[in-house]
Amino acid sequence: MKISTVIRTVGSLAVADLFVRARTQKRSYIPKELRLPFTLFRSPSFSNALLPVVRILNLIQDHPVTDVSVRTTVITSEMGVSNKALIYRPLGVKPNGPVFMYIHGGGTFGGAPQILQNRVSAYARDLDMVAVAIQYRLSPMNPYPAPLDDAYAAYHWIRNNAAELDIDPARVIVFGESAGGLIAAGLTHRLLDTGDPMPVFQVLSQPMLDDRTTLKPKPRYRGQIAWTPKSNRYGWTSYLGRRPQHSQPESWATPARRKDLAGLPPAWIGVGTLDLFHDEDAAYAERLNAAGVPCQFLEVTGGYHGFDTLKVTSIGKSYRDSFITAARRAVNHA
């Protein structure tokens, strides 16, 4: 067969595959308001080849919403590791009030506080509380436990600097999105095991919790938009410093593998039905409740990974209102 014929054949198959994927997405019950152009096709997967692009995107500077001030500080751990943090203070926020520590997503290999200033400052405004958005060392150059160590240091920095921040150290919320949810959940496990003061509440938005998802067959519909099975394998391999395995001991690196969840802070967990993390998040929420840890679980029909951040929609607003209401209730009853 001629090379030109092979090229045409491969090209035709690629187009056909793309079309099938597009048709698959249309049958995946994505709500109309969430049907953005890119949702017609399966998203590209992250790898080492794309890492330089991710690092460049981390340099983007976003801007906070109005009526929320922002200042930059540096948190230095006992081990001498320094990371930047952004402190958001809504106009007129009450003194000695609650605070939430925000941990960004990005698969553990991407993301930075400054690129999410609009989103996190809006959370601070809507929650009417101070927020501290932390930076942590990124994988794969800095695998576990480095990111968790940084979050642990930041958590204690917030509590130890309560007077300067004008916040109540007894009312700290840990808030993680996607891979940030992984680190947030791991942080609560670590605090529980070390006997440290616990946060009053945890918000885990579409969290990455179970490395064993990478070992399961590819789901038919889930994981086609924004975060794919290949991206998940890359993210977990980057974070763990090795490929996930069926048999491995419990650790703070893999929250869903923990057998005993009793004693953890009350939680709110939300995820869409088309998100690759759906099943692991639902299972973790169910296990928290079974262990006596109150956990509100919100399942968004037709929601894919990051559906609430890509476009302002009524579905996204309802999702945000849910965890904001839950967080407010938690700190008011603390």
Between CA 100 and CA 192 the distance in angstroms is: 18
Between CA 93 and CA 57 the distance in angstroms is: 32
Q: DSSP assignment, residue 62?
A: -
Selecting among 121, 168, 305, 308, the annotated active-site residue is 305
Closest among 122, 108, 186 to 323, alpha carbons compared: 122
Task: State yes or no: is 251 an active-site residue.
Answer: no
DSSP class per residue in 187-237: HHHHHHHHTPPPPSEEEEES----GGGGGSPPPSSTT-SSS-HHHHHHHHH
Contacts of 243-248 spanning 24+ positions with Cβ under 8 A: 244/211, 244/212, 244/214, 244/215, 245/215, 246/212, 246/215
Task: State yes or no: is 275 an active-site residue.
Answer: yes
Between CA 113 and CA 73 the distance in angstroms is: 12
Task: State yes or no: is 205 an active-site residue.
Answer: no
Q: DSSP assignment, residue 93?
A: P
Sign of dihedral through CA atoms 9, 15, 17, 19? negative
Selecting among 149, 275, 281, 308, the annotated active-site residue is 275
Selecting among 43, 121, 139, 178, the annotated active-site residue is 178
Q: Compute the half-sphere exposure of residue 210: CA atoms within 13 Å on the CB side of its CA.
A: 19
Please name the amino acid found at residue 182.
L
Name the residues annotated as catalytic.
178, 275, 305
